[in-house]
A and B are shown apart, each in its own frame.
Chain A
Amino acid sequence: MEIYEVHDYLRTVCPDLHITRGEYDEDTRYLETKTLTIGQFKLGVCHGHQVIPWGDLESLAMLQRQLDVDILVTGHTHQFTAYKHEAGVVINPGSATGAFSSITYDVNPSFVLMDIDGLRVVVYVYELIDGEVKVDKIDFKKTTTSTNLTH
């Protein structure tokens, strides 16, 4: 659904908005995958329903290799996960609204903030569990030798 309200809201959070297509999105302007470079990091964004089996780490890692990114951000499962894989990170920030999912029972609303600083990225995870916000922190350092930047 095209919900401009949500769109506008997200723009107030960050004006530099990148969207990839979810399985309920009718708007064909949204791409299936997107890559962007922030500082020394290359990021890939994909909703994830295209990657079967859904939420499977090894299959997502394949997409990470395909997009040639340090950090892959996906969704679809409505469950927060973060894995260090080979030389990169695969992150699923979960569902910010905690919407129903046939994949995940008892969805906790969650989102992540990533602080990218030089070769270091700190991922802050905010999860709402039983009415309380739990914040977690995951550190990831990129080793210069494993740099994937081919440009």
Chain B
Amino acid sequence: MMISNGIEDEEKWLAEGIAGIQHNAFYLHRALDANNLREALKFSAQLLSELRTSRLSPHKYYELYMRAFDELRRLEMFFKDEDRHGCSVVDLYELVQHAGNILPRLYLLCTVGSVYIKSKEAPAKDVLKDLVEMCRAVQHPIRGLFLRSYLAQVSRDKLPDIGSEYEGEGDTVMDAVEFVLQNFTEMNKLWVRMQHQGPLREKEKLEKERNELRDLVGKNLHVLSQIEGVDLEIYRDTVLPRVLEQIVNCKDELAQYYLMDCIIQVFPDEYHLQTLEILLGACPQLQPTVDLKTVLSQLMERLSNYASSSPELLPEFLQVEAFSKLSNAIGKVIEAQADMPIVGAITLYVSLLTFTLRVHPDRLDYVDQVLGACVKKLSGKPKLEDSKATKQVVALLSAPLDKYDDIVTALTLSNYPRVMDHLDAGTNKVMAMVIIRSIMKNKTCVSTSDKVEVLFELIKGLIKDLEGISTDELDEEDFNEEQNSVACLMHMLYNDDPEEMLQIICTVWKHIKAGGPKRLPFTVPPLVFSALKLVRRLQGQDGDVAGEEVPATPKKIFQLLNQIIEALSVVPSPELALRLYLQCAEAANDCDLEPVAYEFFTQAFVLYEEEVADSKAQVTAIHLIIGTLQRMNVFGVENRDTLTHKATGYSAKLLKKPDQCRAVYACSHLFWVDDQDGIKDGERVLLCLKRSLRIANAAQQMANVTRGSSGPLTLFVEILNKYLYFFEKGNPQITSSVIQGLIELIKTEMQSDSTTANHASDAFFTSTLRYIQFQKQKGGAMGEKYDPIKL
């Protein structure tokens, strides 16, 4: 009884079996050496009796079998040599049948049978048929499987195959096929029956053991595939139907899965392609628990590899309608396997899609059809929660993107967004990111507003809050990454035609304006720059054509820009909005649109006054205001005065004196623009510089009071440099004597305050003096100009 303590007992039984084999082998060898046939038969039969055990697991039984097998090889050599035993093979074939026990008898019969066929004293088919029939006598699964495996082994090289020496005289390849099929069928029956051996509680162990034996059965299919004579016709008409019949009829999950896979692996792809209908037809007839998604995926992968091996194969795929056959089969399998989890179904669609994309890359309708089938499967169900299933849907949606390197193709697939709708919000965003990355990676230009519309509909999970998720719950780093991706995406939306480009911008704006306060600071700037680029393209082409409606004009775009930036300013994101207003103002300047430019400046100033409170932010903002205003040439005197007056006013009202001083001297540039038509108001330049000097003085006095030292003289040196600047530019108000005075002032201050030596301002002053020296030595007009200044 094999109950508890199984493993230890088994070891013992195996050792006993091996000992038995070794013992008998010893006498067998003696008999063979003595060419004693009778003794040889006796001991070999005894030796083979060890294989009659029922106590070993397949694994251990195999070990025992291999020992016996080695001895049988020796015996076969002996049988072959008639001179040694003096018995004809025909007689020998009779003689071995006298062995007492059935199992040793059949092993001996197979061994002699092999010699018999080789001797060609009887047709191979007769011997094979005899052997395969006789083996039926052993019905114990393990013993039978190994016996038949032995038969398959010794007969392998003796099949009447085409071109083999055993072919002819009535022996045809069909006999070989018949023999192997019969052996296969019997082996499979034994294998399937194995599960009913032993108590139910050991079912799991049994299945594991059974699985270990599968290759013994599968070997037959391998032998079939090796038979030269099995051409497509024989395969289609005999081999495949017979094998499938056995597979379907055995109604065993393990066997069905393994053997289907085996068929796909061992037979050539061109046979599969030509027999798709037969092979696929078997699938819905299999047990509902068979893992058909793996089987079919394997098949489709092999077929697509096959298709890509040569372009000449494509017509064959079309001729046999491979896609629709696969598609139908998958539909039927999903229908037949009602309990298949959703992930299984989607995995099947992913495989089919991969097949389609590889074999029929031009057939977008196929792709859409697969997606459509998937939608059908998903519809009526709640959003996917199963993470594995979600992953498969992402794979499904990613496949066309990877294949076409071009999102635009995916945008034409009507079922694409419908599949996306079945994703939960999180996965929807993941997918949106996949789409954006694909666009970025392939540098795909999305060139019409219609496509932009579809695209933004697809990535809406990133564009606005979806129900159930508010931006507060999001991981900030992820959120920033997503929004930066959306910002990058904007650069890929482009059309050469200004009309269409404006449409694109309007479409994007329509989508992103619902983005809320956290998204707008990311999404508005790239859209503004995109619009400004368009403005630049239209620049100069403006002018209201009389009576004709010109759709895309800078004016129109500026109106839109005003709206867009205003939305940003109320978010509120005033500093960013201020910068963008200034960019627009300069663009309006370049378009010669004074009122528009003035309006943008007004908006910027309003924000500065009302929204920019932080003193550091004010410093940066005022520099940007001055920097931009300095470049404007569209303004008439009145507007210009208003704006420069405001700017200098803001400058003088900055919190920190040094900031005030620097902003005020920067304002001097508002009155002196160094080009041909630029304003050159030397007096007001001087006013600014004088004013900044006064502030520098005040700053120094303040430092004296609060810190007991006058502080660094950097501001004075900076102002000195500004004097030099306008001096060189020929501002008549800036004379060499004014500069001389300033130099002396700084020198005196430095000497009086030697205690607080400041490297930075000292070096600055030194390098400024060196610069003056450099200019003096330059000679020419500049040298002459600098000549009066003494160092």
A residues neighboring B (CB under 8 Å): 1-5, 23-24, 26, 28, 49-50, 52-54, 56, 58-59, 61-62, 65-66, 68, 86-87, 99-100, 102-103, 105, 148, 150
Contacts and interface: CB of A to CB of B under 8 A. Distances in A.
B766 A59 contact: no
Interface stretch (B158-166, B355-363, B554-562, B624-632): B624-632
B725 interface: yes
Report which residue of A1, A58, A65, A100 has the largest number of chain B beta carbons within 10 angstroms of its beta carbon. Answer: A65
Nearest to B769: A65
16 contacts: A1-B484, A4-B477, A24-B525, A24-B579, A52-B623, A53-B631, A54-B630, A54-B631, A61-B771, A65-B764, A68-B764, A87-B770, A99-B529, A102-B587, A105-B536, A148-B763
A52 B669 contact: yes
A28 B721 CA distance: 28
A100 B766 CA distance: 39
Nearest to B582: A102
A62 B718 contact: yes
Contacts of A62: 718, 721-722, 725
Interface string B661-674: 00000100100011
Contact of A65 (B522, B631, B721, B762): B721
B760 interface: yes
Given A49-B623, A62-B721, A68-B763, A100 B529 contact: yes
B616 A66 contact: no
Given A5-B484, A49-B620, A66-B714, 11 more contacts: A3-B480, A23-B579, A49-B623, A52-B627, A53-B630, A53-B674, A54-B631, A62-B722, A65-B768, A100-B529, A148-B767
Report which residue of A1, A52, A53, A54 has the largest number of chain B beta carbons within 10 angstroms of its beta carbon. Answer: A52
Report which residue of A5, A24, A66, A99 has the largest number of chain B beta carbons within 10 angstroms of its beta carbon. Answer: A66
A131 B506 CA distance: 30
Interface in B596-652: 616, 620, 623-624, 626-628, 630-631
Grouping DSSP codes into helix (H, G, I), strand (E, B) and loop, the B interface class, with mixed when no group exceeds half, is helix
Contacts of B759: 150
Interface in B574-601: 575-576, 579, 583, 586-587, 590
Name the interface size band of chain B: 35 or more
A18 to B, nearest CB: 19
Given A23-B579, A66-B764, A53 B627 contact: yes
A53 B717 CA distance: 18
A24 B759 CA distance: 31
Contacts of A52: 623, 626-627, 630, 666, 669
A50 B630 contact: no
Contact of B532 (A3, A24, A102): A102
A151 B623 CA distance: 32
A104 to B, nearest CB: 11
B479 to A, nearest CB: 12
B26 interface: no
A61 B718 CA distance: 12
Interface string B751-763: 0000000011011
Interface of B: 477, 480-481, 484, 521-522, 525, 529, 532-533, 536, 575-576, 579, 583, 586-587, 590, 616, 620, 623-624, 626-628, 630-631, 666, 669, 673-674, 714, 717-718, 721-722, 725, 728, 759-760, 762-764, 766-768, 770-771, 774
Contacts of B763: 68, 148, 150
Instruction: Enumerate the 10 nearest inter-chain pairs by beta-carbon distance, A residue then B residue, closest first.
Output: A102-B586, A65-B767, A68-B763, A62-B721, A100-B529, A52-B666, A150-B763, A66-B764, A52-B627, A52-B669
Contact of B522 (A1, A4, A99): A1
Nearest to B530: A100
A56 B725 CA distance: 11
Contacts of B583: 102
A54 B525 CA distance: 21
A56 to B, nearest CB: 8
Contacts of B525: 24
Given A52-B623, A52-B627, A150-B759, A59 B764 contact: no
A49 B624 CA distance: 7
Nearest to A35: B760
A54 B627 contact: yes
B760 A68 contact: yes
Contacts of B579: 23-24
Contacts of B714: 66
Nearest to B481: A5
Contacts of B630: 52-54
B626 A28 contact: no
A62 B586 CA distance: 26
Contacts of A4: 477, 480-481
Contacts of B673: 53
A103 B582 CA distance: 12
Nearest to A28: B616
Nearest to B762: A150
Contacts of A105: 536
A124 to B, nearest CB: 26
A53 to B, nearest CB: 5
A5 B488 CA distance: 12
A42 to B, nearest CB: 10
A131 to B, nearest CB: 12
Contacts of A5: 481, 484
Contacts of A102: 532, 583, 586-587, 590, 628
Contacts of A28: 616
A50 B662 CA distance: 10
B627 A2 contact: no
A54 B666 CA distance: 11
Nearest to B521: A1
B525 to A, nearest CB: 8
B172 to A, nearest CB: 69
Nearest to A21: B620
Contact of B620 (A23, A59, A68, A100): A23
Contacts of B575: 26
A53 B767 contact: no
A86 B717 CA distance: 18
B759 to A, nearest CB: 6
Contacts of A87: 770, 774
A105 to B, nearest CB: 7
B98 to A, nearest CB: 83
A53 B666 CA distance: 8
A1 B522 CA distance: 8
Contacts of B631: 53-54, 103
Nearest to B536: A105
A40 B98 CA distance: 105
Contacts of B722: 62
Nearest to B767: A65
A59 B620 CA distance: 18
Contacts of A148: 763, 767
A23 B624 contact: yes
A99 B529 CA distance: 9
A66 to B, nearest CB: 5
A2 B623 contact: no
A110 B103 CA distance: 86
Nearest to B667: A52
Contacts of A61: 771
